[in-house]
A and B are shown apart, each in its own frame.
Chain A
Amino acid sequence: MEKSILELENISKSFSGVEVLHNVSFSLSPGQVHAILGENGAGKSTLIKIITGYHQPNSGKILLENEPVYFQDTRSSRMAGIAAIYQELSLFPDLDVAENIFIGRHPLKVGRSVEWRKLYEESGKLLASLGIDLDLKQKARNLSIAQQQIVEIARAFSINARILIMDEPTSSLTLNEVEELFRLVKNLREKGTAIIFISHRLEELFQLADCVTVLRDGSYIGTRDMKDVSREELIQMMVGRPISSQYPKTNSCVEDVLLRVENLSQDGVFTDISFELHCGEILGMAGLVGAGRTEVARVLFGVEQPTNGKICVDGNEVTIKSPQEAIRLGISYVPEDRGLHGLIPDMNISSNISLPLLESFTKHGWINTREERNSTFASARQMEVRAKHIWQLAKELSGGNQQKVVLAKWLSTKPRILILDEPTRGIDVGTKAAVHHLMNELAAEGIGILMISSELPEILGMSDRVVVMREGHLTEILDRNQATQEKIITAATLDIEKEKIQ
Chain B
Amino acid sequence: MNSRSASNSGKDISEFPEKKSFLSIFKRWESVLVILLVMVVIVNTNLSPYFLNKNNLSRTSSDFMEIGLMMLPMVIIIITGNIDLSVASTMGMSASLMGLLHNYGVNIWIAAAAGLLLGTLGGALNGYLIGRTKLPALVVTLGTYAFYRGLAYGFLGDQAARNYPADFTFIGQGKIAGTLIPIPVVIFILFAIVFALVLHKTSFGRYLYSIGNNEDATRYSGVPVNKIIFRIYLLSGLISAIAGLILAARFGSTRPDNGTGLELSVITAAVLGGVDIDGGKGTLYGATLSLLLIGLLRFGMGLLNIQGQVQSTVIGLLLIVSILFPQIAGAVAAFRNSYTKKKILLAILGFLLVYIAFFVFFFWSRAPIVNII
- Residues on A facing B (Cβ under 8 Å): 15-16, 18-20, 40-41, 43, 46, 72, 217-218, 301, 303, 322-324, 326-327, 333, 335, 339-347, 349, 351, 355-356, 358-359, 361-362, 365-367, 373, 377, 380-381, 384-391, 395-399, 401-402, 409
Contact = CB atoms under 8 A, between A and B. Distances in A.
24 contacts: A18-B7, A19-B6, A43-B3, A72-B339, A322-B224, A327-B222, A344-B210, A344-B218, A355-B210, A355-B222, A367-B201, A367-B202, A367-B203, A367-B206, A373-B15, A380-B13, A384-B12, A386-B12, A387-B11, A388-B8, A390-B14, A397-B1, A397-B8, A402-B1
A341 B213 contact: no
B6 A217 contact: yes
A224 B1 CA distance: 26
A389 B203 contact: no
Contacts of B5: 41, 396-398, 401
B13 A385 contact: yes
Given A367-B203, A380-B13, A303 B219 contact: yes
A366 B202 contact: yes
A346 B213 contact: yes
Interface residues of B, number: 41
B12 A398 contact: no
Contact of B221 (A355, A380, A387): A355
B217 interface: yes
Nearest to A387: B13
B35 interface: no
Nearest to A373: B15
Contacts of B280: 346
B314 interface: no
Interface string B181-203: 00000000000000000100111
Given A20-B3, A347-B209, A303 B8 contact: no
Which 4 pairs show the lowest CB-CB distances between chains A and B? A398-B5, A20-B3, A365-B202, A323-B222
Interface centre among B12, B14, B210, B217 (most CB of A within 10 A): B217
Nearest to B339: A72
B18 A339 contact: no
Interface string B279-311: 011000000000000000000000000000000
A387 B14 CA distance: 8
Interface of B: 1-18, 198, 201-204, 206-207, 209-210, 213-214, 216-224, 280-281, 339
A386 B203 contact: no
A488 to B, nearest CB: 28
Nearest to A72: B339
Given A303-B219, A387-B8, A387-B13, A347 B213 contact: yes
Interface centre among B11, B13, B207 (most CB of A within 10 A): B13
B213 A41 contact: no
A158 B9 CA distance: 42
A361 B201 CA distance: 12
Given A41-B9, A390-B15, A351 B222 contact: no
A389 B15 contact: yes
Contact of A41 (B6, B198, B206, B339): B6
B222 A356 contact: yes
Contacts of B207: 358
Contact of B3 (A18, A355, A384, A391): A18
Contacts of B223: 323-324, 355-356
Nearest to A327: B222
Given A323-B221, A355-B223, A385-B13, 10 more contacts: A20-B6, A324-B223, A339-B1, A344-B213, A355-B206, A367-B206, A384-B12, A388-B13, A398-B8, A401-B5
A380 B11 CA distance: 13
Contact of A381 (B2, B13, B214, B339): B13
Nearest to A326: B222
A335 B220 contact: yes
A395 B8 CA distance: 13
A389 B8 contact: no
Contact of A398 (B1, B216, B217, B220): B1
A71 to B, nearest CB: 11
Contact of A391 (B2, B17, B203, B216): B17
Nearest to B200: A367
A99 B218 CA distance: 36
A391 B223 CA distance: 21
A355 B219 CA distance: 10
A343 B15 contact: no
Contact of B203 (A333, A335, A339, A362): A362
B3 A341 contact: no
A333 B220 contact: yes
Contacts of B216: 340-341
Nearest to A410: B221
B4 to A, nearest CB: 5
B202 A362 contact: yes
Contacts of B10: 386
Given A355-B218, A386-B9, A387-B8, A41 B3 contact: yes
Contacts of A389: 13-18
Given A340-B216, A344-B210, A387-B8, A356 B221 contact: yes
A291 B8 CA distance: 38
Nearest to A354: B206
Interface centre among A303, A324, A385 (most CB of B within 10 A): A324
Contacts of B204: 365
Contacts of B281: 346
Contacts of A16: 4
B222 A324 contact: yes
A415 to B, nearest CB: 11
B220 to A, nearest CB: 5
A396 B2 contact: yes
A40 B214 CA distance: 24
A359 B8 contact: no
Contacts of B6: 18-20, 41, 217-218
A23 B224 CA distance: 50
Contacts of A19: 6
Nearest to A41: B5
A43 B201 CA distance: 40
Contacts of A373: 15
A389 B7 CA distance: 13
Given A324-B222, A351-B206, A396-B4, A340 B201 contact: no
Contact of A345 (B3, B9, B18, B213): B213
Given A398-B1, A409-B221, A366 B9 contact: no
A399 B12 CA distance: 16
Given A323-B222, A326-B222, A344-B218, A399 B202 contact: no
Contacts of B206: 351, 355, 358, 367
A2 B339 CA distance: 35
A250 to B, nearest CB: 27
Contacts of A341: 216-217, 220
